[in-house]
Amino acid sequence: MEESVQIYDTTLRDGAQAEGVSFLVEDKIRIARKLDEFGIHYIEGGWPGSNPKDILFFEEIKKVPIRQAKIAAFGSTRSPRYSVDKDPNLAALIKAETGVVTIFGKSWDLHVTEALNISLEQNLDLIAESIAYLKKYSDEVLFDAEHFFDGYKNNPAYALKVLQTAQEAGADRLVLCDTNGGMLPFELQPILEAVRHIITAPLGIHAHNDSETAVANSLVAVQLGVDHVQGTINGIGERCGNANLCSIIPAIRLKLRKRCLSDERLKELVTVSRFVNEIANLNPWWNQPYVGDSAFAHKGGVHVSAIRKNPLTYEHIDPGLVGNQQRVLISELSGKSNLLYKAKEFGVDLSKDTPQTATILRKLKELENLGFQFEAAEGSFELLIKKTLGTHRTFFDLVGFRVTVEKREGDMVPFTEATIRVKVNGELKYTAAMGDGPVNALDKAFREALISFYPSLKEVKLIDYKVRILNNKQGTAAKTRVLIESADEQMKWGTVGVSENIIEASWQALVDSIEYKLLKDEEMASQREIHKEIPKE
């Protein structure tokens, strides 16, 4: 039978301590539900003794149908100023009525004498009394030995005595914490062996990432027999963050071959990662292992040539196992393999012997040299391929446009207007529109001119607009790259434009965006017609 490892998520408590992260109660409820659906074993909801928001969370989570996860409340051992039955922190933990309580206590003598300003023996009393008291009210009490590894290095006898005390008081699990995040993986084995020599209670690991080793330390601990890992989704947390469960979970399941989440749930890892980023209002870490957009993205021509033959040549796992996908990027580093891969993705019949293949590759590298970038503008790249192959038709012709920006009074917002003239099937269309800026006004006028011919353009939304100065030594005359991301009800696509004139660069990207949408509409219409013509058996 496979060994099993418990996953304890502290995104809602430790993760919420990350700079720039602040969860509403509703946010915490949504994340808790998602983690429960994902299959996480423990969800630490917060510290009810520290703030009203966490108190409200524990009241509200009781009304939520949690299917399999255990909700844990977090707090500290009693204060030296109170007895256990008078301590407000312990009272709040009991009132949370979670069934699982996790409390931390000092295991580094430095903290005991300098932070708490009490004797080492008094600290042991706080730990023993708090655990014994909570055991009367909770099904499960976990003890987080705060700063355990630093404590062990400084005073091993005392750090081990803290664990013994917690064990004898009835703690269901002892969690060894690298609170300062300073441990290196090779240091764990002798310390864990010393712990195992005197401790029989189940162990856990709680690592911080200040030395960029939180994931490695957690995995080493699991390999050495620890069967409970604490961490956060995407590794968010105070300072440099916590152990990243988005790396730990697949490593446990796919590399260490131990059970933690089911293989089916593991396929939702990317979705969960993005969900938490969205709720936390954090930009995704694009090259994050396993779940990042670039985790299985290939740019070099040699790499792409190899993965077309066998993905294992440059991919350590099948990306589908964690809900991710293989991607091939297009750039000046691309070879024919990249181009053929993307052509197949676009549904274009292209081979290395096709005469236009070399032409497309040459154009690509020439454009990249001018400042174009197609990694995030695959819409523009698909249009480039089809125009070169002669399979792209013209949907409209630009006759001309004008953009006016006028500031009438010192404190007034500038007045912006765009006018445009386009021809569609020989018919001239002239429109004008006002906007929040020149690009917005131009976008509105452009689409207004075309909507009577192509009504589906009403669905298109410009969802992102990025400007990059390419040669800053030229100052305001520098060449500019504009990347636009657009979306309709079915898809998203990126387009690019480059020029010394930001309006012209924006126009190029806007034209590609509209052309790409119309191209896809036409292709879908053709597919529907083909399906209609196929006789039913």
Contacts of 225 (CB under 8 A, 6+ apart): 192, 196, 203
Query: Is the CB of residue 24 less than 8 Å from the CB of residue 52?
Result: no
Q: How many CB atoms lie within 10 A of CB 380?
A: 27
Element housing 72 (H / E): strand 70-76
**pLDDT of the residue at 333:** 52
**pLDDT of the residue at 351:** 73
**pLDDT of the residue at 371:** 77
Contacts of 191 (CB under 8 A, 6+ apart): 149, 152
**pLDDT of the residue at 300:** 72
**pLDDT of the residue at 337:** 64
Q: pLDDT tens, 121-161? A: 999 999 999 999 999 999 999 999 999 999 999 999 999 99
Contacts of 524 (CB under 8 A, 6+ apart): none
Longest Cα separation, the chain: 92
**pLDDT of the residue at 537:** 52
Query: Is the CB of residue 416 less than 8 Å from the CB of residue 395?
Result: no
**pLDDT of the residue at 220:** 98
CA distance 387 to 337: 20
The 3-state secondary structure of 478-517 reads: CCEEEEEEEECCCCEEEEEEEECCHHHHHHHHHHHHHHHH
The torsion angle over the Cα atoms of residues 263, 267, 269 and 272, rounded to 10 degrees, is -120
- The parts of the chain modelled with pLDDT lower than 70 are 1, 301, 329-338, 342, 346, 375-376, 410-411, 471-477, 529-537
Q: In the beta sheet, which residues pair with residue 328? A: 298
**In one letter, which amino acid is 523?**
E
CA-based nearest residue to 21, from 233, 207, 246, 290? 233
Number of helices (H), then strands (E), belonging to the chain: the values are: 18, 16
Instruction: Read off the tokens for 74.
Output: 């977090």
CA distance 112 to 122: 9
Give this prediction's pTM: 0.72
**pLDDT of the residue at 532:** 59
Query: Is the CB of residue 301 less than 8 Å from the CB of residue 338?
Result: yes
Residue-range domains of the chain with CATH = 6-280 (3.20.20.70), 297-389 (no CATH), 396-453 (3.30.160)
